[in-house]
Structure formats: structure tokens, C-alpha cells
A and B are shown apart, each in its own frame.
Chain A
């Protein structure tokens, strides 16, 4: 280079090593490195005095608005709804630097982007995915119940641990009080509710619910719920065609009354494969989310509490194929599920929400109890399960644990400590039992009529017909 260059003016940027005074936390950190460049600003990792993992997001001058500043200030005053949110911790202003930024916790490296799952670069289990889905729904329920709205929910700002499904939610700096119409963003294409795309609404709690349903469908079906034949007929997916597909003429790929956007087996095989594997009750709730949920944004959308019940019921129905070990979902012809009091609006058995017919290419995979694994297809019958108060049932696998959520109707969603686990007889490895991990004794009625007491740390044999009084509910072992 002939001309010697001056230092590029970096008044809105940071160099490695630069000190950052975080008055709100009473510490001084140093910039470690630039982590990324987004549409609103740049993100840097920080080296902190106590080695806590912190990142700094610094806004571009045009994004560093007074409104954004006020949003951050109010978020910092409120507490984070839970540790799942990477919440703003402190505002940062620096003399001679344009604009402002904020500090938040950095997510641990065990949390991965869902895009790695959609690209099949990681191999989580159904159980992990359903745990992640449940955590997402639960976290947004918590956020919304505080009157807050996320506004820009997409797969780009959520992460999960592929080992156990624990999640983290990033980009929390657009969270505002619902209805205040504050903030810079209206959402992310493909995740935005149709009413936003056509300009009839700004982000609100109801549009968050729509984005959430899109995310759940993406995670469980590896396909966008509106990308079927109509999408594959588009040669170049540009902005006008996207507005039509996701905004002006949205049509669910499994709409029971209109098959013109049915999945194209060449491009949407995932949707067909997964649709053939999941039980009807979960498909019904997705049908509702993308039919009524599109037609009626105010009243037609699936609520978080409904998703919670459905996702946990699906997770509890997982059993391992006895031949190949694949995770399957327990639905039998005489299904106890049919007798469960699943509300009609949740797609219960009396619901008239139809589920569209199976595609011919995957026909036969579904049905009753054949393993979905194309190389296996073993018929799995006599899957041990426990039915609780006609409220729910849980498939009993070698690694199943029961929680207060299952046995105490007043402690729904409490998964903090297991109260029971499937155990193996110490000398008779073919005999399986259920071990009492609670501190209270269970009263167990054996199939032959005998009544026994099972104390803490003791197990009883899992024999169909056995009844257990957990104190807060009653269980029955089924086959």
C-alpha cells in the first residue's frame, strides 16, 4: 500500500483489549473479541474480573435511539422471567463512543442453534426435542404472563442443549410491554404472523403465539408449515412471492379442507414422514394452530398452556422399539388416551378437527404400533404404561422417571425432583419395578387383591392391573 492510512474512525466500535466500564455492575471488563455483526449492532465477548461469561452488544448509531435506551432501562429494572432468558444486565455508555450498549450473560457453549438440528448436524432424541419445545412454550408463557411481548421470535434467537433439551433465549432487547408499540423490529420473515406481513398489526402477544407455533412445527417436522406444493412451484423465492406465501395467502400444508398446498414429496419429505409418525392428538393441535390460528388471530391461536399439555403428553408417550430401540409414540387401538379427558379444543377424541389423510408414500408406516424405522417396522405390542387418574398416561421405559407434575394435580409442570423411577429387580433382571423416590409411602394394590405398603427407596413389580395410591393421585399399571 503506498498511501499510509489513518486509523479508521472507530467511535462506535471496539478493539480487542479496550476497557469497558460497566457502572451498573460495578466492574471494568475488557473487550475480548468481536463475536458477530447483526442488523442492529455488533456483539463482543468480554473478559470480566471474576471470569463470568459476559457479552456486550453495542448498537449502530442509527439504532441507538432514545426509545431503545428506555426499553433497555426498563428491562434491566424488571427481573428476568427465568434463567432461560439472556436478559440485559446493565446499560453501558462510554465517553467519546457514539451510542450505547448493554451487557448480558453469554450462553454456555453447550447450547446450540436449532439450525444445526434442521441441517441434521446434531442428533437429538425426540425426548430432547420435546423437552426443548416444552421449555420454549413455558418460557414464553412466563414472559407473556408478565404482560411482556418478545416481538421478534424466530429460530435465530433460541438455542438448546442437544443432550437434555434445556434452552436459552437471546436477543431479549426487543422485549416490550404488550401493546405499547415500541421497539425497532416487526419480526423475521417466515416467522412473522400474516397480519403483520399484510400491514394490519404490529407485534403483540398474539403474534408471538403465531411465531411460537411456527418454531414448534419447524423443530418437530423439519419443514415450514406453509411450505408445500405452492412453495415448490415458485422458481425464485423473492420478497413479493414470500409476502404472498406467508402473508396474503397463507395455507397450511396439512389443511384438512384444502390440499392445494400439500407437501411435495420431493422437497417436503420431512413433513410427510413426521406427520405419519406423530399421534393424531398432536397433529390436531397443529391443524388448529395453522387454520383457526391464521383465520382468527385474536381467538383462534393455540395458547401456551394448551401446547404445554400436548407437548408433555407426547413426551410421556415415548417408548423404545423392542427390536431397534427407536423412539416411538404409544398409541394403541384400545388407547387409554381415548378415555382421557383431553379437552375438545385441545384436539381430544371428541373433537371434530380432522387430520388429513396419510400420503400414499408413507402409508402403512403409521397405523397402530409398527415401529417407524423403515429398516425395522417391528410391531410393538404390550408396552407397559401407567395411567394416572384418567388425566394422563406415561409409557414406562427402562429410564422413565415420574415427577410431581405427574402425580400431584396441584404441582403441574414441577419437574424439579423425580418421585419415582423405573428400576430393575436386583436378582431377577427380567422383572421391572417402580421405585419410590419420594419421602412418603405408597399404598399399592396388587392385581391379586393384596394391599402392600411401598416405602421410600423400595420398589414394587410392574404387573399390569396393579394400582398405586400416590396420596395426591391414583395410578394404574397397564399393558
Chain B
């Protein structure tokens, strides 16, 4: 006999990949490494969300090169499939922010959600006016409340801009110097960060006292001594 009631009511959690597909991502197999890393992370992401009693995880993806486009609409984590993307064109990051700001409001966001997770992956310099775009994004309450994480692919990425996207000086962009660390960082964001706002994790005693929207666990500790560069 089945007991009464139903599944515990969950909040919607949007997890959004924002991916740089500019021409420079073609160099050194960066785009292939990125495609590989995200596909590699999917099963871990699905496993993590199975234990999640707080959130219905919805994943979407947005790419920017010359202009910006949604490539994957919000999809349940168990149905999520990554289609390989190709690299060509400019680096219109500002366009990507504007596109994002258009969905980070109610509607289309739900009345009962968790702070969304925005993951920005980039290897270079924006070619458009990213400032106006970022301002527009942060003027949306959900944009401000979002957990914003950025990953620099290789040393050429503009760390300053990736830091401004995060907006919180306590956290730095993650610098992926090689495909291994890119895979690790992507796995970390898609499991640990995925749930930062949804599946509560143990909190450390020596909390720095800073008030943020969500308590984000520390990134994986990695030795940055690897000498190779992309």
C-alpha cells in the first residue's frame, strides 16, 4: 500500500551555462575540451540532484560569439543532453548578459524559486559593450541574487571582467590552465555549486561573517603548479 501525500514540494532552481564560442576558442582544442568537460559532468550532476529534496533543477545554456543565442532551453536534469558547440566569431559578452537579464525576472521565472546559478566560461576579451549588459543583468533582482561563478579558460581570459561578473571579492574566477582542471572545475560547479542554494551542506564554523545570498563551498583545492599552458 502506498502511503498518502506526494513528493515533497520543491523549488525551481535554474542552472545556466554561459559559454564563450568566439573564434579564439578554436585554438588549442579549447572548445573540444569544454564540450568534453560538460558531457563528463552530466552524470555527476544527475546523481547529485537525485538526493536533492529542495530543488527541481532546470538546466539551460546560452552561447555568445557574434551576438548571443540560447542553445538549450530550461531542461530537467535527467533529460539534459549537451550538443557540441563550435567556435567562430566575436566575443559579444554584453549581448549574452542582455539575453540573460530578459529571463531573470518573474515571469518567466517562478514565484517560488531558489537563487539561480549562472556559470560563465570564457577565454578572452569581450568585443562589445559588456558593461551596459552587466548593469542590465544586475538591475534584475534575480540577476543580483544569482550565484555567479566564472571560469577562465586559459591565461588569456580577462580575469578582471570575470571578477566583475562574480561581483563578490571574496570569490575569484577559477583559472583552468589545462583540460584536466577545466574538467574538474566544471564538475565542481555542476555538483557542489549546483546545490549550494538548494541542498544545504554542512557549514563551516569559522565563517567569515560576510553576508552573501548563498553560502558557496570552497572550490576544489588544486595545485596550480602545472606548467603547461593552452
Binding site for B on A (CB under 8 A): 1-6, 8-9, 11-12, 37-40, 60-62, 113, 115-116, 118-120, 123-126, 152, 154-156, 174, 183-192, 202, 222-223, 232, 234-240, 267-270, 273-274, 277, 324-327, 372-374
Contact of B51 with A by CB under 8 A: yes
Interface string of B194-230 (1 = CB under 8 A from A): 0001011111111100011111011011110111111
Q: Could you give 16 example pairs across A and B, Cβ below 8 Å?
A: A1-B179, A3-B229, A5-B178, A8-B226, A9-B223, A9-B226, A37-B192, A38-B201, A119-B7, A156-B202, A202-B205, A223-B8, A236-B114, A273-B4, A327-B1, A373-B1
Point out the residues of chain B lying under 8 angstroms from A60, CB to CB.
218, 220-221
Binding site for A on B (CB under 8 A): 1-9, 11, 28-29, 32-33, 50-53, 106, 111-115, 141-142, 145, 178-181, 187-188, 191-192, 197, 199-207, 211-215, 217-218, 220-223, 225-230
| A269 with B200: CB separation less than 8 A | no
Instruction: Give the CA-CA distance A192 to B200 in the complex, in Å.
Output: 11
Point out the residues of chain B lying under 8 angstroms from A268, CB to CB.
9
Point out the residues of chain B lying under 8 angstroms from A3, CB to CB.
28, 178, 228-230
| B1 with A235: CB separation less than 8 A | no
For B4, give its contact among A6, A9, A188, A277 (CB under 8 Å).
A277
Pairs A-B, 9 closest by C-beta atoms: A9-B223, A189-B200, A270-B5, A238-B213, A118-B8, A185-B202, A120-B7, A267-B9, A115-B51
| A235 with B3: CB separation less than 8 A | no
Which residue from chain A places its CB closest to the CB of B206 in the assembled complex? A184
Closest CB-CB distance, B6 to chain A, in whole Å?
6
Point out the residues of chain A lying under 8 angstroms from B181, CB to CB.
8
| A372 with B51: CB separation less than 8 A | no
| A118 with B53: CB separation less than 8 A | yes
Closest CB-CB distance, B218 to chain A, in whole Å?
7
Q: Which of A8, A62, A154, A190 has the most CB of B within 10 A?
A: A8
Closest CB-CB distance, B21 to chain A, in whole Å?
18
Instruction: Give the CA-CA distance A94 to B145 in the complex, in Å.
Output: 43
Closest CB-CB distance, A171 to chain B, in whole Å?
8
| A239 with B214: CB separation less than 8 A | yes
| B115 with A232: CB separation less than 8 A | no
Point out the residues of chain B lying under 8 angstroms from A116, CB to CB.
50
Closest CB-CB distance, A195 to chain B, in whole Å?
15
| A235 with B212: CB separation less than 8 A | no
Point out the residues of chain B lying under 8 angstroms from A270, CB to CB.
5-6, 8-9
Point out the residues of chain B lying under 8 angstroms from A152, CB to CB.
202
| A156 with B1: CB separation less than 8 A | no
| A269 with B228: CB separation less than 8 A | no
Point out the residues of chain A lying under 8 angstroms from B111, CB to CB.
235
| B223 with A11: CB separation less than 8 A | yes
Instruction: Give the CA-CA distance A289 to B221 in the complex, in Å.
Output: 41
Instruction: Give the CA-CA distance A197 to B20 in the complex, in Å.
Output: 40
| A5 with B179: CB separation less than 8 A | yes
| B53 with A232: CB separation less than 8 A | no
A37-B191, A189-B203 known; A267 vs B51 contact (CB < 8 Å): no
Point out the residues of chain A lying under 8 angstroms from B188, CB to CB.
37
